[in-house]
């Protein structure tokens, strides 16, 4: 990765606004800030930035609050409204010409406030937030209530899309997933992030890897973990399944797959530091991600391909633009465990994996390097 260059004075300054940041959101936001900082001046308005985030040392940061969203829906709603009002107050004092709402696409009040202040407003969804919220709320609320609340968030998001001067998505298929036309003049459908190719690269040649299949991410319901547990149990004995990560279903996995873990056919690594992720990906022959379309384009997919690891993923949102079936990876035909088990076995028994590994790595180097990302955002800021 080439380091950031001096900002270009002919491009407008940018104020990035995000919702409260968990670890995954912090990584994605840091990536976006790195891109923007290479071409213009950038500041961040956010809440709950992790205490050890390197963003604090590298960027101007305005923090609204350090309090979480709360466990109850009323508390979360109150803080959602309060944070929007705080954002409005902060934006009044900001001089940046462009305000980019990153992930905070349902924050309608500050979006409208920024427009009234005469600023250019861009919104960039990180995925399908209403669907993510609905899946979470269904765990503790009646389904109709969860669906109704998620519908309200979707309405706010659609209103934000309508008010904004432009909507940036990671890929064209992600735009379509969000009911946006990728060729519309106010849609910028190629805003995908970059991968640190100096960190994520092939260290262990593909032909030297064992038959290890892995999942990397949060161990929770929306990631298809329960289906993968059945797959892990049913795979042939010469294939090891590795769950990399932590989450609400970890204890359930330890109980459900106790015999397989003891036999060494299933491995649970627990939480893995981001610096250790490249090594884990270099150990895998195949990464499997049977997730819901809640993320626009999972960073894990880009990181795996950069490490020469083929990906078997659900063809949702922006995924098919990167995981091209039979070319850079494979599309999951069905999340049903029996079919998924058969598909994984067939892929590992095939003869095309070396070629697919190389093609996937080449795609990342050509299209998702730091230079490629800055070119994309330079073009976006030149047009708004």
Tokens standing for residue 107:
């924050």
- What is the rounded radius of gyration, in angstroms, for the C-alpha atoms of the chain? 21
pLDDT digits (tens, 9 = 90+) for 184-193: 999 999 998 8
The answer to whether 281 and 216 are in contact (CB under 8 A) is: yes
The pLDDT tens digits of the residues spanning 245-292 come to 999 999 999 999 999 999 999 999 999 988 899 999 999 999 999 877
| pLDDT number for residue 2 | 45
- pLDDT for res 1: 44
In this prediction, residue 24 carries a pLDDT of: 64
Query: How confident is the prediction for the chain on average, in pLDDT?
Result: 90
Closest to 196 (Cα-Cα) out of 5, 348, 369 = 369
Using alpha carbons, select from 199, 202, 201, 188 the residue that is nearest to residue 373: 188
Task: Specify the pLDDT at position 7.
Answer: 57
Q: Quick: pLDDT tens for 21-62.
A: 666 678 888 889 999 999 999 999 998 787 788 898 899 999
Say what the pLDDT of residue 78 is.
84
Q: How high is the pLDDT of residue 375? A: 94
DSSP letters spanning 74-132? HHHHHHHHHHHHHHHHHHHT---SEEEEEB-TT-HHHHHHHHHTT-EEEEE-SB-HHHH
pTM: 0.86
Measured CA to CA, the distance from residue 27 to residue 278 in angstroms comes to 15
Q: Tokens for 206, please give them.
A: 């593909």
Domains and CATH numbers, the chain: 14-193+369-383 (3.40.50.2000), 206-367 (3.40.50.2000)
Please identify every stretch of the chain with a pLDDT value under 70, giving residue numbers as ranges: 1-9, 21-24, 65-71, 293
pLDDT at 37: 96
């Amino acid at each position: 990765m080439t380091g950031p260059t001096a900002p270009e004075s002919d491009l407008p300054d940018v104020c990035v606004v995000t919702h409260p940041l968990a670890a995954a959101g912090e990584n994605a936001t840091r990536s976006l800030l790195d891109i923007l900082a290479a071409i213009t001046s950038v500041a961040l308005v956010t809440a709950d930035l992790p205490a050890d985030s390197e963003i604090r040392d590298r960027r101007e940061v305005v923090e609204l609050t350090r309090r979480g969203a709360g466990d109850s829906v009323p508390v979360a709603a109150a803080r959602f409204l309060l944070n929007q009002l705080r954002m409005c107050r902060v934006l009044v004092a900001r001089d940046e010409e462009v305000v980019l709402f990153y992930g905070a696409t349902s924050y309608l009040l500050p979006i409208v406030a920024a427009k009234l202040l005469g600023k250019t407003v861009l919104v960039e969804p990180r995925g399908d937030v209403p669907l993510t919220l609905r899946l979470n709320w269904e765990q503790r609320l009646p389904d109709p209530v969860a669906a109704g609340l998620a519908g309200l968030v979707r309405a706010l998001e659609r209103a934000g899309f309508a008010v904004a001067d432009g909507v940036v998505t990671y890929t064209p298929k992600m735009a379509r997933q969000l009911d946006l036309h990728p060729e519309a003049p106010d849609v910028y459908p190629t805003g995908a992030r970059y991968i640190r190719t100096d960190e994520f690269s092939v260290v262990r040649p593909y032909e030297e890897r064992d038959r290890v299949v892995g999942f990397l991410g949060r161990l929770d319901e929306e990631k298809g973990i329960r289906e993968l547990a059945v797959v892990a149990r049913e795979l042939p004995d010469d294939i090891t399944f590795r769950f990399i990560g932590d989450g609400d279903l970890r204890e359930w996995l330890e109980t459900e797959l106790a015999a397989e873990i003891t036999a060494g056919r299933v491995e649970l690594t627990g939480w893995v530091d981001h610096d250790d992720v490249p090594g884990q990906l270099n150990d895998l022959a195949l990464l499997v991600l049977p997730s819901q379309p809640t993320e626009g384009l999972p960073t894990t997919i880009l990181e795996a391909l950069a490490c020469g690891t083929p990906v078997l993923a659900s063809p949702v949102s922006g995924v098919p633009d990167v995981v091209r079936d039979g070319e850079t990876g494979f599309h999951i035909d069905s999340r049903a465990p029996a079919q998924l088990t058969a598909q994984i076995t067939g892929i590992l028994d095939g003869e095309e994996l070396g070629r697919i590994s190389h093609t996937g790595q080449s795609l990342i180097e050509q299209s998702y390097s730091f230079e490629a990302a800055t070119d994309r955002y330079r073009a976006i800021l030149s047009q708004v």
